[in-house]
């Protein structure tokens, strides 16, 4: 693989104002005894976007997603997923969603083709299993038993099972945990392809670079509440935050935080008579903003 950036769809967040909503949540609560695991979550996910839900362990992220999937009952609030309440929706609604859980449950004795064909039989309008296997990059391994595959290859099987039913909405729970860098990048390309075909994707991940590479928007959940939602580049005011200009001067490493980095660089260039040694200009990373947000809720 090369180090070239993954091609991204044009940013659509600002142009989506009147687009359909795939997920709408208002005042969502989930209480266990005296503990509120989810405490008043409001959330909108637009059709056709990749939305990353970020949050530390115990923040309510998994509980929220399980409620959206219809796998867990809520204590209070309103939830609409593809126009239906997951707590009441039936088989026809379930055929419209795909789920790739964090933990795989494939039968290790079945081949990839057998597994995908088996799952395809559950859906009224499944994709062709062989086309799905090719789409996830496993055509040459279609006859291999799942138990003999690597972790990255088995994760691709998970995705094949998640998309074989032609889902309008795909849930991805920590999809690249345990992947090596090359496998992660290949998986990102697969998800970009699905999104490009119009599939709405809800991604949960602990990898901030993954959220930045894939998501149109990210939401940060902490202490049971959504504390921010925005495009990765704008979250927490990243786009307008002060920049840090660093360089090496006669006295050693130097740095300055400024709202006018271009002016500072021009002044440094004049001072050094051209190239500035070890010059870097950075703004807060997504990780910086995320850690600040979840830290403020503790």
Domain boundary assignment for the chain:
20-233, 238-296
The sign of the dihedral angle between the CA atoms of 17, 18, 23, 25 is positive
Q: Is the pLDDT of residue 244 over 70?
A: yes
CA 15 to chain centre: 20
Residue 2 pLDDT grade (very low, low, confident, very high; cuts 50, 70, 90):
very low
Q: Is the pLDDT of residue 33 over 80?
A: yes
Q: What is the CA radius of gyration of the chain?
A: 22
- Cα–Cα distance between 73 and 111 in angstroms, integer? 35
- Cα–Cα distance between 102 and 120 in angstroms, integer? 20
What average pLDDT does range 114-124 have in this prediction?
94
CATH class of 20-233: alpha beta
What average pLDDT does range 207-216 have in this prediction?
93
Residue 4 pLDDT grade (very low, low, confident, very high; cuts 50, 70, 90):
very low
Average pLDDT, the chain: 87
Q: Is the pLDDT of residue 247 over 70?
A: yes
Residue, of 244 and 38, whose pLDDT is higher: 38
Q: What does the pLDDT read at residue 13?
A: 44
Instruction: Please state which of the ranges 36-45, 123-132, 149-158 shows the lowest mean pLDDT.
Output: 149-158
Q: Is the pLDDT of residue 7 over 70?
A: no
In sequence order, the 6+-apart residues with CB closer than 8 A to the CB of 262 are none
Q: Is the pLDDT of residue 209 over 50?
A: yes
Cβ contact 69:25 at 8 Å: no
Instruction: Please state which of the ranges 24-38, 107-121, 227-241, 263-277 shows the lowest mean pLDDT.
Output: 227-241
Q: Is the pLDDT of residue 178 over 80?
A: no
Residue 229 pLDDT grade (very low, low, confident, very high; cuts 50, 70, 90):
very high
Residue, of 251 and 217, whose pLDDT is higher: 217
Q: Is the pLDDT of residue 11 over 50?
A: no
What average pLDDT does range 46-73 have in this prediction?
93
């Amino acid at each position: 693989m090369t180090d070239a950036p993954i091609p991204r769809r044009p940013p659509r967040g600002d142009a989506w104002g009147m687009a359909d909503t795939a997920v709408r949540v208002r005042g969502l609560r989930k209480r266990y005894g005296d503990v509120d695991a989810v405490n008043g979550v409001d959330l909108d996910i637009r059709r056709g976007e990749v939305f990353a839900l970020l949050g530390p362990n115990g923040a309510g992220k998994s509980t929220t997603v399980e409620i959206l999937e219809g796998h867990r009952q809520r204590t209070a609030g309103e939830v609409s997923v593809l126009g239906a309440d997951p707590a009441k929706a039936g088989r026809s609604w379930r055929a419209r969603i795909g789920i790739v859980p964090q933990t795989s449950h494939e039968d290790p004795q079945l081949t990839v083709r057998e597994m995908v064909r088996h799952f395809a039989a559950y859906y009224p309008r499944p994709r062709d299993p062989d086309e799905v296997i090719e789409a996830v990059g496993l055509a040459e391994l279609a006859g291999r038993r799942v138990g003999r595959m690597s972790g990255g290859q088995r994760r691709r099987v998970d995705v094949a099972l998640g998309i074989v039913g032609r889902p309008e909405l795909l849930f991805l729970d920590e999809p690249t945990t345990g992947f090596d860098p090359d496998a992660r990048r290949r998986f990102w390309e697969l998800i970009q392809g699905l999104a490009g075909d119009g599939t709405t994707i809800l991604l949960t991940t602990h990898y901030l670079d993954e959220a930045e590479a894939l998501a149109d928007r990210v939401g940060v959940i902490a202490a049971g509440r959504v504390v921010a939602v925005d495009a990765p580049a704008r979250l927490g005011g990243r786009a307008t935050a002060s920049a840090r200009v660093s360089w090496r001067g006669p006295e050693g490493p130097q740095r300055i935080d400024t709202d006018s980095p271009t002016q500072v660089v021009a002044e440094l260039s004049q001072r050094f008579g051209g190239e500035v040694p070890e010059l870097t200009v950075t703004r807060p990373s997504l990780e910086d903003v995320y850690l600040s947000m979840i830290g403020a809720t503790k």
